[in-house]
Structure 1
Amino acid sequence: MRPWLLAVATGSVVALAQSGRQRLLLSQAKHPSLAGHAGLARRVAGMIPYHGYDASRMFCVDQAPPPIAELRRDGFFRLAQLYAAKFEKTNALTAATAPALSDLQFTSGYRVPFQFRDLVREHLPVGGFLAAGSAATVTDLDGNMFHDLTGSYGVNLLGYDVYKSCIARGAERVAELGPVLGAYHPVVAENVTRLRALSGLDEVSFHMSGTEAVMQAVRLARYHTGRPRIVRFCGAYHGWWDDVQPGIGNPTLPGRTLTLAEMSERTLRVLRQRRDIACVLVNPLQALHPNRAAPADGALLDSSRGAGVDRDAYTRWLRALRAVCYARGIVLILDEVFTGFRLARGGAAAYFDVQPDLVTYGKTLGGGLPVGVLCGRAAVMKRFRDDRPVDVCLARGTFNAHPYVMGAMAAFLDHLDQPATAALYQDLDRLWDARASALNGRLHDAMLPVRVANLSSIWTVCYSVPSRYNWMLQYYLRAAGIALSWVGTGRLIFSLNTNDDAFEAISVRFIQACRAMQADGWWWTGGTSNRSLRRQVLREMLMTRLEVLRIRARPSPAKQ
């Protein structure tokens, strides 16, 4: 063989071997769950056909005996009668509006596992309208007051009255300029100074949502590194932009996003070896349930939901990740859209003692108005090159740094500086851990199969006996005067100003709801296990899938 041909062949073999090794390392760094394999998850989701339970099966899908099924049936329709009487006006407006409001259609369809959806949606509708909010309570159109554990998806950190004040004070401050865009109101300069101090970073840019802030962070990382790929961790949410949501929910499969296992040495090995990774995205909320998606009752098929925080372990993980990213020139992005200002005044960066290259904020920082903020090192935030003036990184938005948003933000930052707010951060973990422990003790003493896990004021409800019906708890909680978001018991978000009296009232109502649900037979087990319940669900799906394929295979009447 000629020398040059031998050299080419040898080079090809080496290149193939290196490529194969990279693929192997990447495969090993993925989480073994379906959520860790975005492409496979999308394909599986596309193959699952709809099938629902009618009234004859709804109450005994776990092979409960007739007396238990009848107990459940009576409890369900008794609750339905209460809903019809207590939430009449709220539900009527929701039903009238839903056909023209796609958000309501989606959320009402995914509060429970889809097999139960039709009967639940018909008899236990949840209204989508409210008339008033104050502190940590909301009131519906029928005058029912609820303790609000939706937290407005994380916005309500200090109580709704604070945000009303922020909006009013902010609007008054910028009223003379009004909605003039392009140039800035002077309050922007003040906000920039304060955000630099809070984040410990050099520069700031303003956006209209957390998703937009994440988009800009990723774009800047790619711009400055010249690398195409981004890394996100299994289960983490970073907004609904294609590149950071590669699995179920995205109609396309981004080709430059790697979904890897969090808190894994194998992931660090991939980061050390690859040369095409621009950035790593971290959502600190995952400390509550690493490598798992945000828990939602719509996916609550059994009682295997788990959660719990090991703060020291997660801190060690973030420090190791920070070191690898620094050594490899990878931009570390801390997505604090949800956790910013909630875990500590300085956010998760201060809570876990890690300094990112870029950090995104949103939600509560807008003082009750929509906002996204990106803070970062000057070297990464720059959007142009002095030596190549045409090579720029565009990021604009008509309403970025809107005067009214900036005014409300300044008012919110004023509240952060008040002694009363500073006092809320004192021993924050101790307070909320003690509250969770106290509620768990009361649940245990009442012999209820429910426990809570928490990351400070962010809570998740877990279940200790196998059941297909845990999602029913959200409806008993609503009847008891506790409002949850459409994800149900997967996410309870408290306002930091929840005092002991308010928490006691919530605890009493929570236990009351659990007792009512237990009395109605929903937690009967009969020797079932989580594994057997999952197998049952899988068997039902396969049988329905086969039936669909069989029907499709039938010749049409025209061809017979």
Structure 2
Amino acid sequence: MDALGTISVAAAAAALAFLGAKLPRRLALSRAKHPSLTGHVRMAKRIAAQLPFYEYGEAEFASVDGASDEVAARRRAGFARLSALYRERYARTRAMTEEARTGISDLQFTGRYRVPFQFSRIVRENLSAGSFLQAASGVEVEDLDGNRLYDLTGSYGVNLLGTDAYRDCIREGAGAVEALGPVLGALHPVVSDNVRRLRAVSGMDEVSFHMSGTEAVMQAVRLAQYRTGRRRIVRFCGAYHGWWGDVQPGIGNPRPADDTLTLADLSERTLRVLAARRDVACVLVNPIQAMHPNRGAPSDGSLVDSGRSAAFDREAYARWLGRLREICTARGIVLILDEVFVGFRLAPGGAQAYFGVRADLVTYGKTLGGGLPIGVLCGRHALMRRFREDRPGDICFARGTFNAHPYVMGAMNAFLRRLETPEIRDLYREIDGRWNARAAALNRRLEAEGLPVRVVAMSSIWTVLYTKPARYNWLLQYYLRLEGLALSWVGTGRLIFSLNYTDAEMAAVTERFVAGARAMEADGWWAGPATTDKAIRRGVLREMLAVRWDDLRGRSRPARDGAGREAMPAE
């Protein structure tokens, strides 16, 4: 063998040795991802980009599940009644929303994705209740037409203590800082007290203020990478940590997030991967995922069947966090607990106290601002330092003009002080037992009336589930609105209660919830032919493939119904 041949053989052997060492590692990483598309973000993004748009016309809207003519007629009559009631009851609120929609991109987005896209246009045209409110007090809100509704939105997590409490926090906070006003850069003295209280709550050494939860998480990840010298971020399948690119790989992010690994929650394989890798800077945990691990936030916009699931086992999730903590400590990985959503909702000491785990960095937001925008990062001294004393040019920059705004700091201080009052501490006493009992009471009523709806509670955060396969579950939000229950744009996917709900008010919510479900059943939306969730999903997939095939062939084709049959043309 000549020299060239010897070199070629050596190169081939080296390549095989390299592959032999790397393949097991790659295989372990792949196996640590959740098997669903949610766990494979790049594949999910590719598939999502290929999904074709199509919609159901007026004729087939009420029978896409293959319902009989009698049931379809009952549904159409019910939908017409709903449409008339919405136009009458929410006239002023709808009018202002339509006027504003062309200039507010958020309204365009949330309106379009409130229900499955095939039904969206008809629903938007007929069942809009509008997006404006003019007043709030107690546990109720009021729209522009004077309709008073029980607030089940929780202001997306902000409203923990009730709107009246936050109104007081803002008023008290503004009064405390009025002499300084909107002077930025320097700190108002109230900041010192906030830092002291936050250190006590979080158990951390230092605090950094930001204007949103997303910003706080950005800073936490950046500091973890800076202090460890590693680049990889680990997040768990389905978890949300804000809308910025590195923590939202896949659908919703137009750019690749090459340094981010999305692994399965509650997984032994994930722990083995973390124990073997040397390039992981941090692991992000959003405690709300304890309610639906490895799934995204439940939304009626994706509710094509009854396959939504949720369950909460506090002890099991606490054990998981404990094991994760051990691995991170052993491998020098920064454990970040993202409490922007659940912070102070589960316990006065947050999720760390609730689950009995100590993170390295903790992010807060939402309710902590006393009703004003806020993001806070708390961490150990060694991780929070943004510079290296022996390398003066090596820094980790993060600042913002409105960080530690006096009025925000004042409202925060009022909130933190309120947390320590006896009346607020009473709201936390037996908190899980109280809210679990309220959920159980609603479930007993639903079961007694034979309605295919149930709720699962993680304290004051609830998710609505469905016990019978159906195509129209997303309609329940519109029946509930007519009964005086205000929901967020994710519909019945997530109900968030403020802690000031009394037993009498919860009883009223229960009555209205059951009445809405009863009306939906009477209109026949759960009276479709017997089937399974798998059959429904396969039918929708056949629709999409048929439309996509016609797109590729360059011709239009009628939509197909939920049974895969060609639908009638729209009237």
Verify same fold: TM over 0.5: yes
From 205, 227, 230, give the equivalent of 1:224.
227
The corresponding residue for 2:414 is: 411
Q: Contact 1:283 / 1:335 at 8 angstroms: preserved in 2?
A: yes
Asked if 1:63 is matched to 2:66, the reply is yes
Q: Contact 2:299 / 2:493 at 8 angstroms: preserved in 1?
A: yes
Q: Unaligned 5+ residue runs, structure 1?
A: 554-560
From 255, 273, 278, give the equivalent of 2:276.
273
Equivalent residue letter for 2:469? P
Following the alignment from structure 2 to structure 1, what is the Cα–Cα distance between the partners of residues 250 and 258? 12
From 34, 55, 76, give the equivalent of 2:79.
76
Following the alignment from structure 1 to structure 2, what is the Cα–Cα distance between the partners of residues 87 and 552? 40
Asked if 1:179 is matched to 2:171, the reply is no
Following the alignment from structure 2 to structure 1, what is the Cα–Cα distance between the partners of residues 74 and 7? 82
CA deviations over 1:389-418 (Å, ceiling 9, x no partner): 110000100100000000000000111011
TM alignment of 1:211-360, pairs within 5 A:
211-360=214-363
From 89, 94, 98, give the equivalent of 1:95.
98
1:4–1:63 CA distance, 2 compared to 1 (3 A):
closer
Following the alignment from structure 1 to structure 2, what is the Cα–Cα distance between the partners of residues 21 and 126? 55
CA deviations over 1:499-535 (Å, ceiling 9, x no partner): 1011001000000000000000000132111111101
Cα offset, 1:7, TM superposition: 7.3
Of stretches 130-139 and 370-379 in structure 1, the one that deviates more from structure 2 is 130-139
Following the alignment from structure 1 to structure 2, what is the Cα–Cα distance between the partners of residues 52 and 382? 53
The corresponding residue for 1:530 is: 533
Partner-residue secondary structure (3-state), 1:75: helix
Following the alignment from structure 2 to structure 1, what is the Cα–Cα distance between the partners of residues 188 and 15? 60
From 131, 136, 140, give the equivalent of 1:133.
136
Identity across matched positions, percent:
63
Of stretches 505-514 and 130-139 in structure 1, the one that deviates more from structure 2 is 130-139
Equivalent residue letter for 1:154? G
Asked if 1:150 is matched to 2:153, the reply is yes
Partner-residue secondary structure (3-state), 1:390: strand
CA deviations over 1:85-138 (Å, ceiling 9, x no partner): 100000000011101110111111011000000110000013110000112211
Partner-residue secondary structure (3-state), 2:509: helix
**How well do the aligned residues superpose, as a CA RMSD in angstroms?**
1.3
Cα offset, 1:21, TM superposition: 1.2
Partner-residue secondary structure (3-state), 2:283: strand
Q: TM-score, normalised by structure 2?
A: 0.95
Following the alignment from structure 1 to structure 2, what is the Cα–Cα distance between the partners of residues 4 and 327? 42
Q: Contact 2:334 / 2:360 at 8 angstroms: preserved in 1?
A: yes
CA deviations over 1:267-287 (Å, ceiling 9, x no partner): 001101111110000000000
Q: TM-score, normalised by structure 1?
A: 0.97
The corresponding residue for 2:519 is: 516
Q: Contact 2:240 / 2:248 at 8 angstroms: preserved in 1?
A: yes
The corresponding residue for 1:556 is: none
CA deviations over 1:222-268 (Å, ceiling 9, x no partner): 00111111000000000000000002111112111000000000000
Q: Contact 1:334 / 1:360 at 8 angstroms: preserved in 2?
A: yes
Following the alignment from structure 1 to structure 2, what is the Cα–Cα distance between the partners of residues 357 and 165? 33
Consecutive aligned runs of 4 or more in structure 1 exceeding 2 Å deviation: 1-15
Q: Unaligned 5+ residue runs, structure 2?
A: 557-571
1:80–1:272 CA distance, 2 compared to 1 (3 A):
same
Asked if 1:487 is matched to 2:490, the reply is yes
Following the alignment from structure 1 to structure 2, what is the Cα–Cα distance between the partners of residues 143 and 194? 40
Partner-residue secondary structure (3-state), 2:343: coil
Q: Contact 1:452 / 1:460 at 8 angstroms: preserved in 2?
A: yes
Of stretches 470-479 and 119-128 in structure 1, the one that deviates more from structure 2 is 119-128
The corresponding residue for 2:478 is: 475
TM alignment of 1:438-449, pairs within 5 A:
438-449=441-452
Q: Contact 2:339 / 2:363 at 8 angstroms: preserved in 1?
A: yes
CA deviations over 1:22-55 (Å, ceiling 9, x no partner): 1100100000111111101111111011100011
From 406, 426, 431, give the equivalent of 2:429.
426
CA deviations over 1:429-456 (Å, ceiling 9, x no partner): 0101111111101110011100000110
Q: How many residues align?
A: 553
Of stretches 13-22 and 74-83 in structure 1, the one that deviates more from structure 2 is 13-22
Q: Contact 1:108 / 1:126 at 8 angstroms: preserved in 2?
A: no
Following the alignment from structure 2 to structure 1, what is the Cα–Cα distance between the partners of residues 164 and 356? 31
CA deviations over 1:273-324 (Å, ceiling 9, x no partner): 1111100000000000000000000000000111010111111110000000
Partner-residue secondary structure (3-state), 1:153: helix
